[in-house]
């Protein structure tokens, strides 16, 4: 089955700097790659996703890049703010869009230093 | 829409007892997923349903775990008998082939 590795497990950046979180996956059949943000005691919430026919996607300060050949994808957050502090999870699935289950990475605890 | 509704929010039970977690998906969503979250193992898919039919239960850890979806608006995850290693947050999520919506989770503690 699919295996998703996520790095780093903890990332501390100064407010205003950029943060990058990286994930690799093992199943070349995977086509859908979402990123979730989870605040303490809350549910995971989708912040951005990308499908395999696209190399990059942006939404304001958040971007995701995908390299299907290398089987890795990354989350980029620019101009970080205190409210960006949370745990971020990457995930992968074959069908995507809610039609099959997600395999998650272990998460990255992002800490924004004031 | 109230979103995905899970109950109870917190459950504390003694080892050996039966535990039932409940989920009401978003109306019209035809997929329902159960995930378990622990510090050690992260978020793991346990089972998912499409149109009330179980599609993949390969993530169910052992026979003590069972899940049902008797109709489109209700699902249960049952653990019998419960063990301390079952302590985790259990999330239900639903989707309509446009992305997943998670419930608030049930924090289960088995003592």
pLDDT tens digits, one per residue of B33-49 = 999 999 999 999 999 99
Q: Nearest Cβ partner of A99 from B31, B44, B59?
A: B31
How many C-beta neighbours within 10 Å does residue B11 have? 18
Model pLDDT for residues B16-33, shown as the tens digit of each residue: 999 999 999 999 999 999
**Residue A45 with chain B: CB contacts under 8 Å:** 102
Burial bucket for residue A86 (CB in 10 Å: 0-12, 13-18, 19+): buried
Cβ distance of B102 and A43 shorter than 8 Å: yes
Residues of A in contact with B96 (CB under 8 A): 98
Compute the nearest-CA separation of A95 from chain B (Å): 9
User: Is B95 part of the contact surface with chain A (CB cutoff 8 Å)?
Assistant: yes
Residue A84 has pLDDT above 80, yes or no: yes
pLDDT band at A72 (very low <50, low <70, confident <90, very high): very high
Look at B45 and A103 and tell me if their CB atoms are within 8 Å: yes
Choice among A76-80, A89-93, B59-63, B103-107 with the minimum mean pLDDT: B59-63
State the count of interchain CB pairs (< 8 A) between A and B: 54
Position B62 confidence tier, pLDDT thresholds 50, 70, 90? confident
Tell me: pLDDT of B97 over 70.
no
Distance from CA of A40 to the nearest CA of B (A): 12
Chain B residues touching residue A3 (CB < 8 angstroms): none
Please tell me whether residue A43 adopts helix, strand or coil conformation. Answer: coil
Does residue B103 surpass a pLDDT of 80? yes
Alpha-carbon gap, residue B6 to A76, rounded angstroms: 32
The stretch B80-84 carries a mean pLDDT of 97
Confidence of residue B1 (pLDDT cuts 50, 70, 90): low
CB of B105 less than 8 A from some CB of A: yes
B25 near A CB under 8 A: no
Residue of A nearest to B98 (CA): A97
Write down the pLDDT at residue B15.
97
Closest-CA residue of B relative to A37 is B102
Identify the band that residue A53 occupies on the pLDDT scale cut at 50, 70 and 90. Answer: confident
Number of other CB atoms surrounding residue B106 within 10 Å: 22
At A54 the pLDDT is 83
Taking Cα atoms as reference points, which of B93, B91, B7 lies closest to residue B49? B93
Residues in chain B: 111
């Amino acid at each position: 089955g699919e295996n998703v590795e996520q790095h780093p497990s903890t990332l501390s950046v100064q407010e205003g700097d950029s943060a990058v979180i990286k994930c690799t996956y093992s199943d070349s059949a995977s086509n859908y790659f979402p990123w979730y943000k989870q605040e303490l005691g809350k549910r995971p919430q989708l912040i951005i996703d990308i499908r395999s026919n696209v190399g990059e996607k942006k939404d304001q300060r958040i971007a995701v890049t995908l390299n299907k050949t290398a089987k890795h994808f990354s989350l980029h957050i620019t101009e970080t703010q205190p409210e960006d502090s949370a745990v971020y999870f990457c995930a992968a699935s074959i069908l995507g869009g809610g039609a099959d289950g997600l395999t998650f990475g272990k998460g990255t605890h992002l800490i924004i230093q004031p | 829409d109230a979103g995905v509704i899970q109950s109870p929010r917190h459950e504390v039970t003694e080892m050996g007892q039966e535990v039932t977690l409940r989920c009401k998906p978003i109306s019209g969503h035809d997929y329902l997923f159960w995930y378990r979250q622990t510090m050690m193992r992260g978020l793991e898919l346990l089972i998912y349903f499409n149109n009330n039919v179980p599609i993949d239960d390969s993530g169910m850890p052992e026979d003590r775990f069972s899940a049902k979806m008797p109709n489109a608006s209700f699902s249960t995850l049952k653990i019998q008998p419960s063990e301390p290693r079952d302590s985790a947050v259990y999330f239900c999520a639903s989707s309509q082939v446009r992305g997943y919506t998670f419930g608030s989770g049930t924090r289960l503690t088995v003592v």
